[in-house]
Chains A and B, each alone.
Chain A
Amino acid sequence: MSDHVSSLDLDELAANLPTRPGVDAHLAGCADCRARLEERRRENEAISKDPRLDQLLERLDAGRAPAPRRTAWPWLVPVALAAAVLLVTPRWLADDPSSTAVRAKGPATLQFVSESGAVVAGPVAPGVRLRLRARGPAPFLVVLAIEAGRPPAVIWPVGTETGAPVPEGGLLEPAFLVTPGDVRLVALFFERPVRLDAVVAGAAASGRDGGASVEAFPKLPDELARAPASLRVRGDD
Chain B
Amino acid sequence: MEPGFREIYVRCAPAAFRRAFLLLRDEHDAWDVVHDVFAKLAQERGWARIRARPMTYVWRATTNRCLNVLEARRLRATSIVPADDEPRAHSEAIHARDLLEKLAPELDDVDRQILVLQFVDGLSQDEIAETLNLWRRTVGRRLARLRARLIELGWEEGGRS
Contacts and interface: CB of A to CB of B under 8 A. Distances in A.
Interface stretch (A46-54, A109-117, A123-131, A228-236): A46-54
A99 B108 contact: yes
Interface string A37-79: 0011001100110001100110111011111011000000000
Contacts of A202: none
Given A7-B123, A64-B43, A56 B138 contact: no
Interface in A69-108: 69-70, 94-97, 99
Given A18-B53, A70-B44, A63 B39 contact: yes
A214 B109 CA distance: 28
A17 B54 contact: yes
A136 interface: no
B14 interface: yes
Interface stretch (A8-16, A144-152, A203-211, A217-225): A8-16
Contacts of A2: 124
Contacts, number: 124
6 contacts: A11-B15, A15-B15, A56-B35, A59-B35, A64-B1, A164-B108
Interface of A: 2-4, 6-8, 11-12, 14-18, 20, 36, 39-40, 43-44, 47-48, 52-53, 56-57, 59-61, 63-67, 69-70, 94-97, 99, 159-162, 164-165, 193
Given A66-B43, A69-B46, A95-B135, 19 more contacts: A4-B87, A7-B87, A7-B122, A8-B59, A11-B12, A12-B55, A15-B12, A15-B15, A15-B55, A17-B53, A17-B55, A43-B18, A47-B13, A64-B43, A66-B45, A96-B138, A99-B111, A161-B109, A193-B108
